Amino acid sequence: MTERMLLRAEALTKYYGEFRALHAVSLGVGAGEFVSIIGPNGAGKSTLINLLTGLAQPTSGTVRFKDRDITGIGPVRLAKLGMARSFQLVQIFPDLTVLETLQAAVAARLGRGRRLFASLTGDRQIQQEAVEVADLFGLGGRHALARELPQGDKKLLDVASAFALRPEVILLDEPTSGVSTGDKTKVMEILVRAAKTIGLQAIIQVEHDMDIVFGYSDRVIALHQGEVLADATPSAVQADQRLVDMVVGRRPVRHPR
């Protein structure tokens, strides 16, 4: 782990009624790291991301970003501090074009969202920055409706809209889900190249595809039933077959004697 810690969670516990979704989860993410969070369905991955981005309040525990307590701060205020989560604006505004979707993200960052659609058509800075992000992610069909894009391009647009906020740290929830096997590597390569171009300091992703996890991560945090089972390098996690079977939801194969 690097010396400069950007994000730190301490003893995060979250209950929904009597159901315990997370229990005493602690983690840190340093500058220059690409961290993947893995685990079976119901492991607490989405709850953890919601807590890290201030979308939900923990029952107990704290989250600090750049040594500032951001527990429950909310994603809008958090984005202004330099940490963003993929917007998924394609689902929110399916009838916007690619360029309009990116313009909406830029307008939000610049605090011009109150007159959003007027800003999209009349603000030169918003238009210019949106075009730059579209070029960075290879989104050539700028005037195509977002909902009509191939799934791989929809994912790229979701990620690009978060990059348009110019964050220092980005959190991605399943950036390759629903994408064909052939397009997954394309999405990840573009994402990593864009991160280097804008000077992104850290990436945190929730991901099910183990090839993507082991191929791109510096560290892997494995969750199971709301607890951290492992926080290690990809090679260390990959070498523990029992751990891999648990976090990807497979039962160990029983061989006949």
DSSP secondary structure letters along the chain: --SSEEEEEEEEEEEETTEEEEEEEEEEEETT-EEEEE--TTSSHHHHHHHHTTSS--SEEEEEETTEE-TT--HHHHHHHTEEE---HHHHSTTSBHHHHHHHHHHHHTT--TTHHHHHHH-HHHHHHHHHHHHHTT---TTSBGGGS-HHHHHHHHHHHHHTT--SEEEEE-TTTT--HHHHHHHHHHHHHHHHHHT--EEEEE---HHHHHHH-SEEEEEETTEEEEEE-HHHHHH-HHHHHHHTTPPPP----
Cα 61 to Cα 9, 25, 68, 83, distances in angstroms: 8, 8, 14, 19
Query: Does residue 176 sit in the same domain as residue 70?
Result: yes
Q: Are 13 and 59 in a shared domain?
A: yes
pLDDT band for position 248 (50/70/90)?
confident
Average pLDDT for residues 144-158, to the nearest whole number? 88
Q: Which pLDDT score, from 0 to 100, does residue 137 have? A: 92
Identify the pLDDT of residue 257: 35
Statement to judge: residues 9 and 77 lie in one domain: yes
Out of 166, 194, 220, a domain closes at: 166
pLDDT confidence bin for 55, thresholds 50/70/90: confident
Domain region containing 130? 87-166
Regarding whether 155 and 98 lie in a shared domain, the answer is yes
Domain final residue, candidates 140, 166, 192: 166
The pLDDT score that the predictor gives to residue 173 is: 86
Q: pLDDT tens digits, residue range 116-137?
A: 555 555 678 888 999 999 999 9
Please indicate, yes or no, whether residues 143 and 176 belong to a single structural domain of this protein: no
Q: Is 73 in the same domain as 11?
A: yes
Considering 110, 141, 166, which residue would you say is the last residue of a domain? Answer: 166
pLDDT at 254: 40
User: Has residue 225 been placed in a domain?
Assistant: yes
Q: Which stretch of 19-33, 60-74, 171-185 has the lowest confidence by average pLDDT?
A: 171-185
173 and 67 belong to one structural domain = yes
- State whether 78 and 17 are in the same domain: yes
pTM score, two decimals?
0.87
Q: Is residue 59 part of a domain?
A: yes
pLDDT of amino acid 250: 55
Dihedral sign, Cα of residue 220, residue 7, residue 224, residue 25:
positive
